[in-house]
Amino acid sequence: MIDRAPAIALRRLLVAACAMLAVGCLYAAPRKIVLIGGAKSEGPARHDYGNGIRLLAGFLQATPAARRGEIAVASYPDGWPADPHAFDGVAAVVLHFDGDTKHPLRDAAHRHQFEALMQRGVGLVALHQASTVPANDDTIGLQRWLGGARFGMADRTTETALLQPATPAHPVASGVQAFAYRDEFYPTIRFAASGRITPILLATLHVQYRDGKAVVEDLPELATVAWAYERPGGGRSFGFSGAHYLVALDQPMLRRTLLNAVLWTAGLEVPPAGASGGAADVAARVAEREMREAPDRRPARSAAADAPTFHHDPQRTGWNPDETALTPTSVAGPSFGLLWESPPLDAVDGQAPRLYASPLYVDRVAITAGEHQGETFAVAFAASSNGYVYAINTEKTGDVAAGRILWRTRLATPCRLQPQPLDAVPTGVLSTPVIDVARGRLYVTSCDPRNSWQAYALDLGSGAILPGWPVRLDEARLNAVNRNAGPRLLPPTRRFDFRVQRGALNLSPDGSRLYVVFGETETGWLASVDTVQAKVDSAFAAVAMPHRGSGGIWGAGGPAVDAAGHVFVVTGSGYDGFVDQAHDWTQSVLELSDTAPHGLQLEGTYTPFNYCVTARMDIDLGSGGATLLPALDATATTTPQLLVLGGKQGNAYLLDRAHMPGRLDRRQPCSEDAAGDGSLLPPQRQPQFAGRGPLSVFGPYSEKDASMDLARARSATAAFRGADGTVHVYMTGNTRAREGSPAGIPPSLVRLDVATAPGEPAWLRIDRRQDSVVFGNPGSPVVSSHGAQDAIVWVLDENAKRSVLLAGADAPSPVLYAFDADSLRVLWKSAPGELSTSGKYNEPLVARGQVLVGTDRIQAFGLGASHLVHARGDVGKAVTPAAAPTIAVPAAGLDGRAIYRQRCAMCHDHPQGNIPPRARIASRPRAEIIEALTHGVMRANAAGLSAQDIEAVAGALQP
């Protein structure tokens, strides 16, 4: 640091002597500073140039230099001074106004005055847009006087940035330390080729607007945001691209920098500790007044627009009744298409993310950390298989583009399930998180290799993991508070921990309990996590020990919760999953209460009549989840409180959830009498039965072939109440060409009506079938409408069989469909390859005129004059192929039995859950075995085998 104290002391002595003797002196006349503002051009306290100039004038007048008579301030806050003597004797000029085509120096008279000042060596300070000239400027020539200029309005960023002194020894940097604050900066100042340019402040910026377009990618760039310039012909200049917000002038280090710059450009000495002047919060007080007096143009926050959980609400209705922009007519027209997409989300070890979790949405979120802190956005939340959670902007806000990632949080390294990774991808987050909007929290679960599954609570505004979290969700903790414990605990029987937390999370009505379910596990679990104490409070095992290996709660819908806090879950099965014992709830719907100090308590059950046979064949009842229907008119039926669900068998079941039909100690005896089923049956005889029975929606009806690629449905249903009061239920699935065939035929989408009659229970009837579309493996349908009008059914189809892997060059590209909710005609569908590879069983989200889809990024569809055109060549493909299995490739000539022992026996000779036993595989046609090993679910295990080797394995299974 240069020692300027002697020179400053000498100056002060001379000024004092001149004042006492009242004689002319070199230092007696104050240096005149002229400050020029301009008209407001943006919202309150932004581009508020007039108030900015008034504040700067006040700060200068409060400096010791002004009190000593070294400077005199003349300000013109409303525009270029008309007084011809305004610049007489001026030492420095401060400019703070709009630039580009509004720049005052485009006026010839103003420019003539300005250039005369510059040629005399007058100092220059230019703030914010005052440094901006037209893109092809050949008139103003500001760069030669200021040392740098911004050409055109194309490049800018509004963010919270860390500004650091670049040249601490320079007088303008005196007393300035690194500081962070929010402002709009220009990252592409073009500097002059001659003269001495000294960077004063540097910042790492994340450009948000470039070349006339909003930028989605978050790419850091080191930029000079403030600079000093010593002009070749004499004179000093200073430029600063910030000061967009009026409150920026309250930032102590920025205020010091600007005051230093004025003194330096005026030819005055800058104190070693820097200049100071003005009250600390004066700019904030002026800004608050401006905000208070200006009309509020921000859209009001609408809780109705929020979609904080899977299937829109805790009841899992799948219905958004507050959509006004998207109508059947507008969606079918030419203006609907892909509007924006986020950047690809983070890869891990070369593997692209997959979004099994569906997006969530909150209409207004105040960001509290990172470069976007201090601003409010409409936000989509996404969670990936790679263990990341993201907040993503959904509407252009200022210069922040739709699709911009506002924050990201990495939870942990994702698991890689054994004996082979799930769908050939890592297993971080699989279930849809849940948001407590009132408390500003997002809850999410993720698996990591060290701690397995854990529940996290994140701050909604920053993504920070809250204190006390995560909460471990291992079987030891669940067993310690299990409310359905058997006579004794048994150790796991599986060689590998293959627990899967796929079912969406949910919350109690007051947010004090987080509900987490597990499936494809030793036993299914419902866990209740105390969100206040951050601990597992209670748990309920779907199957009381000593039986293990069934009862998984794995459907994407997870638990449904009604307004009274009752929790409804649907359990599944596995091959040979039936055991006749008390408190075994395989293949059942369970209703539970959750109260202190009792925790989870069973309140009601339902088990289909044929559970014993479907449990043996891995035909899960719980492949989607329960939907709690909107309440019916109590005068129209004796069962106004209803629940509906589907299952792999393709049936639809309607239950009176106010009076669940099952026992609380054990399931009813197995039966072959469909008419005795405890659900609300249609009055008519069902074709697949001798009489009445559950409604078969996707056929052909089978009690032995409805698992894996033969399953009929794996989705939660969606509800909609029409103008006549009828409650409609939409169900997606797969109708098979014939029993035992994986080939699909229409319908894949069916509309059911809830039929009622006074004094009678309600029942389901098929109202309409969609007869042209065949889905591969659809997620749950969702409905958008404006009340009872303009209803649309949205479906995201994986566009592949269930067994297809999600990594590799041939990973599927899903398809998004829109159907008219009344006629079921196709209104629109996404183009081939338009969507990137996604997860399985996820669903789109409709909010504020946009349809959000989670793939390896967030992709948004809506109404617009122009649509996003893909330039990338990897549409619908994974970034890299899945890693090769670690199992050694067998030597040439090894027979099929030996290959089976090496690669298959560890699972299929000792099966658990949904792993089929060897006998079950051997019963399948040879072509299906070969297909599974070549292209299907077992492809990863068969890596490295030749076609002849695969044929040999199939032959060994079918001697």
Closest CA to 549 of 803, 917, 929: 917
Q: Determine how many CB atoms are found less than 10 A away from the CB of residue 869.
A: 7
d(CA 226, CA 239): 5
Q: What is the pLDDT of residues 627-642, one digit of tens each?
A: 999 999 999 999 999 9
Split at pLDDT 50, 70, 90, the class of 626 is very high
pLDDT at 924 over 60: yes
Give the mean pLDDT of 13-37: 62
Positive or negative, the Cα torsion across 474, 476, 480, 483?
A: positive
Confidence of residue 297 (pLDDT cuts 50, 70, 90): low
One-letter amino acid for residue 18 of the chain: C
Q: Which residues pair with 126 in a beta bridge?
A: 95, 239
SS (H, E, C) 335-370: CEEEEEECCCCCCECCECCCCCCCCEEEEEEECCCC
- Residues near 112 by Cβ (< 8 Å), separated by ≥ 6? none
Residues whose CB is less than 8 angstroms from the CB of residue 525 and which lie 6 or more positions away in sequence, other chains included: 478, 516, 517, 518, 539, 540, 541, 542, 553
pLDDT band at 20 (very low <50, low <70, confident <90, very high): very low
Distance from C-alpha of 103 to C-alpha of 133, rounded to nearest angstrom: 7
CA dihedral (371, 374, 380, 386) positive or negative? positive
Note the pLDDT tens digit of each residue in 82-99. 999 999 999 999 999 999
Tens of pLDDT, residue by residue over 852-864, are: 999 999 999 999 8
Torsion angle, alpha carbons of 916, 922, 928, 934, to 10 = 80
Q: What is the per-residue pLDDT for 439?
A: 97
Residue 667, number of CB atoms within 10 A of its CB: 24
pLDDT of residue 280: 78
Q: Which residues of 570-605 are buried (b: 16+ CB within 10 A; e: fewer)?
A: bbbbbbbbbeeeebbbbbbbbbbebeeeebbebebb
Are 792 and 728 within 8 A, CB to CB?
no
The tokens for 64 are: 């010791």
**How much is the pLDDT for 610?**
96
Confidence of residue 867 (pLDDT cuts 50, 70, 90): confident
pLDDT at 936: 64
CA dist 797 and 775 (Å) reads 6
Q: What is the pLDDT of residue 406?
A: 96
Strand partners, 199: 227
pLDDT value for 914: 64
Q: Please give the C-alpha separations between residue 433 and each of 158, 472, 527, 776, 792, in angstroms, as whole numbers.
A: 30, 16, 15, 25, 25
Q: Taking residues 176-197, report their average pLDDT.
A: 95
pLDDT band per the 50, 70, 90 thresholds, residue 4: very low
Whole-number Å distance between alpha carbons of 824 and 818: 9
Q: Which amino acid is at 236?
A: R
CA dihedral 175, 176, 177, 180 (to 10 degrees): 150
pLDDT over 80 (residue 799): yes
pLDDT digits (tens, 9 = 90+) for 298-355: 555 567 789 999 999 999 999 999 999 999 999 999 999 999 999 999 999 999 999 9
Burial of residue 724, with CB atoms counted within 10 A of its CB: 0-12 exposed, 13-18 middle, 19 or more buried = exposed
**Which residues lie closer than 8 Å to 959 by C-beta, 6 or more apart?**
none
Mean pLDDT of 737-748: 92
As separate numbers, helices (DSSP H) first and strands (DSSP E) second, the chain gives 15, 49
CA atoms within 13 A on the CB side of 694: 29
Q: Which residues contact 804 (CB under 8 A, 6 or more apart)?
A: 777, 798, 811, 812, 935, 936
Can you tell me the distance from the alpha carbon of 380 to that of 394, in angstroms, rounded to the nearest whole number? 6
Dist CA 32 CA 24 (whole Å): 17
CA distance 175 to 203: 18
What number is the average pLDDT over the span 807-836?
Answer: 95
Q: What is the pLDDT of residue 872?
A: 40
Q: Which of 546-550, 557-561, 597-601 has the lowest mean pLDDT?
A: 546-550
* Rounded Cα–Cα distance for residues 406 and 451 (Å): 28
Please report which residue ranges of 568-622 form alpha helices under DSSP H.
611-616
- β-partners of residue 769 are 750
What share of the chain in percent tops pLDDT 90? 74
Band of the pLDDT at 496, cuts 50, 70, 90? Answer: low
Q: Looking at residue 927, what DSSP letter applies?
A: H
Q: What's residue 860's pLDDT?
A: 97
3-state secondary structure of 424: helix
DSSP symbol at 268: P
Q: If pLDDT is split at 50, 70 and 90, which confidence band does 808 have?
A: confident
pLDDT band (50, 70, 90) for residue 601: very high
Rounded-to-integer distance, Cα 394 and Cα 404, Å: 8
User: pLDDT band at residue 892, thresholds of 50, 70 and 90?
Assistant: very low
Residue whose tokens read 């230019």: 126
pLDDT at 466 over 60: yes
Band of pLDDT at residue 959, cut at 50, 70 and 90: low
Instruction: Give the contacts of 631 (CB within 8 A, at least 6 positions apart).
Output: 640, 641
- Residue 850 pLDDT > 50: yes
pLDDT at 223 over 90: yes
Whether 65 contacts 263, CB under 8 Å: yes
Residue range 683-697, pLDDT digits in tens: 999 999 989 999 999
Q: Cis (ω within 30 of 0) for the bond into 220?
A: no
Q: Helix 926-934 to helix 947-957 angle, to the nearest 10 degrees?
A: 140
Q: How far apart are CA 812 and CA 908, in angstroms?
A: 27
Long-range contacts of 81-88 (CB under 8 A, 24+ apart): 81/34, 81/36, 86/34, 87/34, 87/113, 87/117, 87/122, 88/32
Highest mean pLDDT, choosing among 31-35, 594-598, 894-898: 31-35
Nearest CA among 343, 438, 453, 346 for reference residue 389: 346
Percent of the chain with pLDDT strictly greater than 70: 90
Long-range contacts of 397-401 (CB under 8 A, 24+ apart): 398/158, 398/208, 399/156, 399/157, 399/158, 399/184, 399/208, 399/209, 399/214, 400/158, 400/208, 400/214, 400/372, 400/375, 401/208, 401/209, 401/214, 401/215, 401/216, 401/340
Higher pLDDT, 679 or 544: 679
Say yes or no to pLDDT of 7 above 90: no
Residue 185 has pLDDT above 60, yes or no: yes
Question: So what's the pLDDT on residue 2?
Answer: 38
Q: Could you tell me if 585 and 543 are in contact, meaning their C-beta atoms sit under 8 angstroms apart?
A: yes
Phi, psi (rounded to 5 degrees) for 216: -85, -40
Measured distance CA(59)–CA(255) in Å, rounded: 8
Which is more confidently placed, 44 or 816?
816
**How many other CB atoms are there within 10 angstroms of residue 635's CB atom?**
9
Contact 617, 704 (CB under 8 A): yes
Q: Return the minimum-mean-pLDDT range out of 116-130, 196-210, 803-817, 906-920.
A: 906-920
Amino acid identity of residue 470, one-letter, is: P
- What per-residue confidence (pLDDT) applies to 937? 61
Omega before residue 700 within 30° of 0, cis: yes
Residue 28: per-residue pLDDT: 57
What's the confidence (pLDDT) of residue 14? 45
Residues in the chain, overall count: 959
Burial class for 726, CB neighbours closer than 10 Å (0-12, 13-18, 19+): middle
Which pLDDT value is given to residue 880? 33
